[in-house]
Structure formats: C-alpha cells, structure tokens
Chains A and B, each alone.
Chain A
Amino acid sequence: MLAYLIRRIGQALLTVAVMATIVFLAIYAVGNPVDILANPNADAKEMAEIAARLGLDRPLYEQFGLFVMNALQGDLGRSFVFNEPALKLIAQRMPATLELAFVALVFSVLIGIPLGVWAGLRPEGFAGRSIMTGSILGFSLPNFWIGLMLILLFAVELKWLPSGGRGPTTSLFGLQVSFLTWEGLRHLLLPAFTLALYKAALVVRLARAGTREAVLQDYVRFARAKGLSPRRIVLVHVLKNIMIPVVTVLGLELGSMIAFAVVTETVFAYPGMGKLLIDSIGRLDRPVIVAYLMLVVVIFVVINLVVDLVYAALDPRVRLTEAGA
C-alpha cells in the first residue's frame, strides 16, 4: 500500500508540474496585457515602463523561470490589476464558489437519487420513462440558458428571489459562508439550482443504472425471496449499491462543477472565483488566470488521488493490478 501511495503521489505531482508548464505557456500566447492595462493616451515609452514594472519585458524563459521559482515557494504572482497576490484574490473568492458548488451538489443528490431509484425500480413505467426523458433534458439544456430563464422568471417577473450577487455572510469555522442566513440562502437558490441541474441528471442516470443492476443481483433477489419489505430492500441493499458510484462520480464532478461555476457565476454576477477568472481573462490579468487554473488543476489532482486511494484501500485488487501493469 505504501509503495502504491508514493507512486500515486509522485504521479500527481508530475501532473501538476506538466499542467503548470502548459498553462503558463498557453496564457503567454494570449495577447499582451500592457495593451489593455495602459491608459489609451500612453505612448511607447510609458508602455515600456509599464511592461518593465510588471516584469513583462523579460524574455519568456526568464518569466517562466521566475514563475517556477516563486511557485515552488507558494507564490503564484501578483495581480497586474489589483496589485495583490493572485492567490489571496482567489482565496477571497473561493468560499463563495465552494459554497455554491457544495449546495449544488446537495441539490443534485436530493433531486437525483430519489428520481433515479424510482426510475430504476420501474424502468418501464410512465414515471420511470418521464424521469429518464427529463434527465435527458437536464443534460441538454445549456447552463447559461437555464440561468437566464430562471432570472427572468423568479427575479424579474415574480420577484421572489434576487437576480444575482451573494447574500450576507457569516463566519463558520473561519470561512465566510452565506447559507446560514435566509437572505444568503435566497441568493444561492437560483445559481445553485442552475449548476445542479446537469449533475442531477447525471445522478438520476447513475442511481437508475445502479438500481437496475442491484435488483438483478443475487443478494437482492435473495433478500426479496426471503420476504424482506421492498422499502427495506431499497433503503439498505439498493442504496448501498448505488451510493459508491454516485459518491465517486460526484466527487470527481465536484471539480468540473467548480469549473462550470464560471458560466453560472457570469450569468448570476456571483462573486466567486469563476467570475474572477472571466473578468481576469477580459483584463488579461495573467497571474490571476494562471493561479486560478493551477488551483483547479490541484483540486482535480487531489480529488482523483483521494478517490484512487480510497478505492485502493477498499479493494485490494486495484493496487495489485496497478502494480502489475
């Protein structure tokens, strides 16, 4: 197990290093920040001074070397626009995005599992088929479109919920969260639901497939033959069977949720890190873009690592096979 652990962590670090290089080079190819940062009246001399102040006058390899050196010390650069450490800017926004993603995750489970199990138990019934068709719709509706429709309906027409932004925050274990107050929750509802819809459809699929497989399994047949109540069969045997894939996939999807929050946060003007990314791309604030992407890479790598390790811990075959390969 230890060897496996070390190897897996080594791979994770390598992934981060490769991604850092790719991300840095890709961002470097997008435009020249001075062109958008400088006041339009600035002449060539002033533009050169700005470039020098921001370290953009150095050759690419020097900039990259500096980035790597600083990154190794946990410094991903200072925002050109806000003149603050990029990581600090992102850290300020991170609780908002994490909160949004978690609430969306909860929504998707609350919506997805009951519907999925129901559809799995009665795959040929009307409800089962409707749920499946509904889940296809959930996959198919573009995120930004749903967001806009929800704003139009609930904020502008009905005036039930706020149109965007984040509600008042309270401190919970040092994190600023907004879901503890009613007002904060009201702000979260629409964006979280928008973000949750796609994942909810996914959970419906997983839960349905898991349920269908479970009811065919010998132990469920056996339980049924033993005369256990359907309720107990579902709650104990079926749920147990579907929870593993659902949790795994949702764990993996948490990362993509954070990424997709970019679109949702843009539509709802929600001050999370996704909004920061889009704004930073617009302003070519390279350090912030790079820091954001690096952070997402790290989140993904960590999630994958944890899932793998948990798997390995649960199922010895995995580490044996991997070791053999």
Chain B
Amino acid sequence: MSVAAEPRVPAAVERHESPLRRRLGEFFDRKSAYVSVALLLLLIGAAVFAPWIAPQNPYDLAQLDIMDGRLAPGATSMDGKVFRLGTDEQGRDMLSAILYGLRISLFVGIVSTVAACSVGAAIGVFAAYKGGRVESLVMRAVDLQLSFPAILIALVLLAAFGRGIDKVIIALVVVQWAYYARTVRGSALVERNRDYMEAARCLALPKSRIVFRHLLPNCLPPLIVVATVQVAHAIALEATLSFLGVGVPVTEPSLGMLIKNGYDYLMSGKYWISTYPGIALVMAIVAINMVGDRLRDVLNPRLSK
C-alpha cells in the first residue's frame, strides 16, 4: 500500500534509484504535471537564454530612447525596430524587458531559496542532531523569526539597506531560513528515532557521516517540497517589495518592478506595460507552485494510495 516503506538498513539508503524512478513515474501520472514542467522549463529557458533571444538589451541605457516610449504592441521604432509587446515609458522593449525581468525574478527566487535552504537545513539538522540546549535555543530563534511576517522584516531591512539584487537576496534569505530549519528539524526528529539511525549509531559511524549520509537524505523529500513552494513565494515577495518601492534597481527591473512601472499607466489604457509582465510573473509562480504541488503529493507517502 505504501510506496515509502522507509529503508530499514543503511545500505538501502544509498541506493535510492528505484524509489526515485517510481516517484518520477508517479509525478508524471497527471497531464497537468507535463504542462507545468514544460511551462517551467520554457520559462527557465527563456530566462537563461534571454541575452541571445531578446531583441534588445533593456539594461543598456544607450540602446533605449525615450522617444520610443509607450509604444503599443506591434509598433515600430524610429529606426525600424518592431516592438512586439510595446514599450514602457523609457522606450524599453517590453518583450526584452520581460525576458530579462524573468531572468532576475527567477535568479532572485532560486538563489535566495538555495541559500536559505542550505543555511536553514544545516541549522535544522544540527539542532536536531545536537538536541538539548542547542536545539531549544535554535528553535527559539526559529520561532522568533517565524513570529514575524516576512514582508515586514524584508520591508524594514531593505529600507535600511537600499536597493540592489544582492540586498534583496540577503533580505529574502533572512526571512526564509527559518522555514527550512523547522522543516528539517521536524523530519529529523522523526528520523532520529528510527531503527536505521540506531543501527548507524551502533556501528559507530562518524557523526558527520550520520548527519550527511543518513539523516539529511531522509529529510530531503519535505525539504524539496518546501523549497519549491518557497521559490514561488520568494518571487512573489520580491515583486511585492518592488511594488512598495524597495527592491531591485530601477535600471535593471525584475517582473515586479515592471508591473509597478506599468501600474502608473494602467488607468490610461496603456495596459501592456503592466499586463504582460504580470502574466509572465503569474505564469512563473503558477508553474512552480504546480510542480511543487505534484511533488508534495508524490513525496508525501501518507497520501499515496
């Protein structure tokens, strides 16, 4: 009945291949999974290859001309370029801006998540492994962190830091690490008492080996689920911060910043400046969330039939 009959001996942990393949198969059990993965890959591809596929480098101010500003989709510039998705008020080609913006949004989302995940997971595993005072101290810090809404912390931090992609990432790591620490610690607590851990301990394996080879891999499934969802969360958070006027620099806009810029023109019927980046943003978040959702279903053994 249960796929995740947890491995009972250390040797089985190292050979994860067959359950992995089985889970992959299960993941693609749904058509929606293909759609979301395809969409996500498409968006990531567009972001990665933006410098080669974008008609313009929207960050090179010398390529922009305000005389081409606020052109409708399909319009032609003074020197004959076609702006398929129109331009913003700086004369920035929206298609290029969206591709580059997607790049920044995904970059910020993924890097901050990976960083927060590494930091948080390390702390969580460490706490669970050490137990006692260390654990309760760490968990107090986690509670402290989680006892405060991410958006407010990030807002205050960025108000103090100023603008910059690096600063946004730092702020996002600060507000997100605790989720991972808690998740990992939670699973580690469960794993800690399992037989295979007892076995590993009895075999007198080095502590680092126990943590990294045995404890951590078994905490991974919930971590992957949380991380996937958090990437989407980080992207949305970054967009909201940009909307509130802190975040990435204006000359290198992320999707959130593009929406904010377009927000000023929405009422005047220049819908494209805000709408297309909005669609791109929502597509990215939806795709990631759908993948995360499937992962959750697959990796949560209790719900598997």
Contact = CB atoms under 8 A, between A and B. Distances in A.
A15 B293 contact: no
Interface residues of B, number: 38
Q: Is the interface of B mostly helix, strand, loop or mixed?
A: helix
A319 B151 CA distance: 32
Given A136-B290, A263-B243, A325-B135, A26 B151 contact: no
Contact of A156 (B239, B267, B303): B267
Interface stretch (B60-68, B82-90, B277-285): B277-285
A321 to B, nearest CB: 10
A132 B296 CA distance: 13
A293 B153 CA distance: 9
A31 B240 CA distance: 22
Contacts of B289: 136, 139-140
A144 interface: yes
Contact of B303 (A23, A141, A212, A281): A212
Interface string B30-56: 001000000000000000000000000
Contacts of B147: 15, 19, 297, 300-301, 304
A30 interface: yes
Interface stretch (A33-41, A64-72, A254-262): A254-262
A297 B278 CA distance: 32
Interface in A130-169: 132-133, 136-137, 139-145, 148, 152, 156
A11 interface: yes
A85 to B, nearest CB: 22
Contacts of A19: 144, 147-148
Nearest to B157: A26
Interface in A265-320: 266, 278, 281, 289, 293, 296-297, 300-301, 304
A281 B160 contact: no
Interface in B108-163: 131, 135-136, 140, 143-144, 147-149, 151-152, 155-157, 159-160
A209 interface: yes
A24 to B, nearest CB: 11
B59 interface: no
Nearest to B281: A142
Nearest to A299: B147
Determine which residue in B147, B259, B282 has the highest number of CB atoms from chain A within 10 A of its CB, and name it. Answer: B147
Contact of B244 (A14, A27, A263, A325): A263
A129 interface: yes
B244 A278 contact: yes
Interface in B255-301: 256, 259, 263, 266-267, 278, 281-282, 285-286, 289-290, 293
A9 to B, nearest CB: 14
Interface residues of A, number: 46
Given A278-B244, A296-B152, A300-B148, A140 B32 contact: no
A225 interface: no
A29 B156 CA distance: 10
B267 A259 contact: no
A262 B243 contact: no
Given A19-B144, A156-B267, A281 B155 contact: yes
26 contacts: A11-B143, A15-B143, A15-B144, A26-B156, A26-B157, A30-B156, A30-B159, A31-B159, A136-B286, A136-B290, A136-B293, A137-B282, A139-B289, A140-B232, A140-B282, A142-B256, A152-B266, A212-B303, A255-B149, A260-B149, A260-B151, A263-B240, A289-B156, A296-B152, A301-B147, A325-B131
Interface of B: 32, 131, 135-136, 140, 143-144, 147-149, 151-152, 155-157, 159-160, 232, 236, 239-240, 243-244, 256, 259, 263, 266-267, 278, 281-282, 285-286, 289-290, 293, 302-303
The 9 closest A-B pairs by CB, nearest first: A259-B149, A140-B285, A29-B160, A300-B147, A140-B286, A136-B289, A30-B160, A30-B159, A256-B149
